[in-house]
Amino acid sequence: MATMTHSLIVYDPGHFHAALLFFHENPRVDKDVHVYAPAGPEVDAFIAMLEGFNARAEAPTHWRISAYRGDDALERLITERRGEIVILAGRNGPRLALMHRLHDAGFSVLADKPWMTDSANLPHLDAITRAAPLAVDIMTGRINPVAELRNAVIGTKSVFGALVTGDEAPAIELFSRHHLLKKVDNRPLRRPPWFYDINVQGDGMVDIHSHYVDQAQWLLGPDHVFYADRDIDILDAERWVTEVPLDLFRESTGEDRFPAALAPVVSGDVLSLASNGRIDYRLLGTWVRHHCEWGLREPEGGSDVHGFTARGENAELTIRHGPETGFTTEFRLRVKDTRHIEPALQAWRERFTGLRITRDGGGYLFTPSPAMHIQHEAQFPVALDNFLSLVEVGDLPVELAARIRSRYTLIARARDLALNG
């Protein structure tokens, strides 16, 4: 059977995730990439990143980029219709309304998260996930084999037991620290000035949390059809700021001063950026906690910091990636009753090729093989390929549509709680 080839359209790319979808070539993706955007440095940065992929020495790509720059870019995109799939990654504030318009015009949309900055646009969410064409968010967390190993360990009830209940501690905790200054594809990342405007980019309640809700849904109900009113109970939420000095803002954006729109949150030469947030909720009755924060500058030789803890009746699993682990992934299992551990260890080694498991400090240290680590940049082409498979089928699975609706409803309600009590 001949491979179906898809022509992709990229609209107003303002976030580097749009470019990462093209990090590797795909035989199902036409080499001609059609870009529509208002003129400005953001579309130029997107094109420069694709040209960098084309020019690299190892595994170069061969994208042919055609770009229309103008204030009427959206109208031209819809009228010229150079493909049936639109990629969105950039300003999050108007995202859902824009997706609704593209949906009504007959385009399938693959859009970066988060899809909104507040709850006002939630009515669009239902419209774009109830019927074709497709609307899906870019979720890379399920592509990581280490996450599959995590789920397999927690799912082995003979070893792990059921996730804990009660009010002493969350059964599942997820933590991250990202950085305003960082490198992508070994190059310093230039952020647009609006990245620092929570009305455009979103605040600490809506961004990384969308990934974490997806992870909790995957763990607790991989095939469940989620409904926010039935399956989610928000317990608590809070939001706080990172103080961003003007010098770092200049280095990050190339701009000399903070935009006038940010004046209400600027004091002297410091911007109070509400980029951090915590959410506690019960999902299908299980207590889940997310803690997401932003630091200023990525450590030299380091990267984002991640942490995960799952507490079971018979075991505790922790995963750490940060300065304390040398920015490698430490995967540790502590088990109270080891009677059933040996068959489980053997099963995990057989399922995950190259996995090493050793006794360490009263627990078990898992060392994933290099093949189990998929580079962050390389996860995005896989997400695109998965989306193309959905497009070719033509229908959004009921459980995926429900998962998306409940995910964004949860973080919108949590944000309202954090702001209003």
Which of 222, 6, 184, 24 has the alpha carbon at shortest distance from 110?
6
CATH number 3.10.520.10 given to 6-139: no
pLDDT averaged over the chain?
95
pLDDT class of 1 with cuts at 50, 70, 90: low
Under 8 Å between Cβ of 251 and 190: no
Rounded distance, CA 421 to CA 303, Å?
34
Average pLDDT over residues 159-184: 95
| Residue 2 pLDDT greater than 70, yes or no | no
Domain 142-376 CATH class label: alpha beta
Q: What is the pLDDT of residues 49-64, one digit of tens each?
A: 999 999 999 999 999 9
Q: pTM score, two decimals?
A: 0.94
Residue spans of beta strands (DSSP E) within 284-369: 286-297, 305-311, 315-321, 329-335, 356-360, 363-367
Average pLDDT over residues 67-77: 98
pLDDT class of 47 with cuts at 50, 70, 90: very high
Rounded distance, CA 306 to CA 35, Å?
34
Residues 6+ apart with CB under 8 A from 166: none
Q: Three-state SS for 162?
A: coil
The pLDDT value given to residue 148: 95
Rounded distance, CA 406 to CA 24, Å?
31
Rounded distance, CA 46 to CA 403, Å?
30
- Each domain of the chain, given as residue ranges in start order, spans 6-139, 142-376
Under 8 Å between Cβ of 252 and 190: yes
The pLDDT value given to residue 315: 97
Residues 6+ apart with CB under 8 A from 184: 16, 20, 377
Distance of CA 28 to the CA centre of its chain: 23
Q: Which of 48-57, 101-110, 138-147, 193-202 has the lowest mean pLDDT?
A: 138-147
Distance of CA 235 to the CA centre of its chain: 23
Which of 122, 113, 112, 266 has the alpha carbon at shortest distance from 193?
266
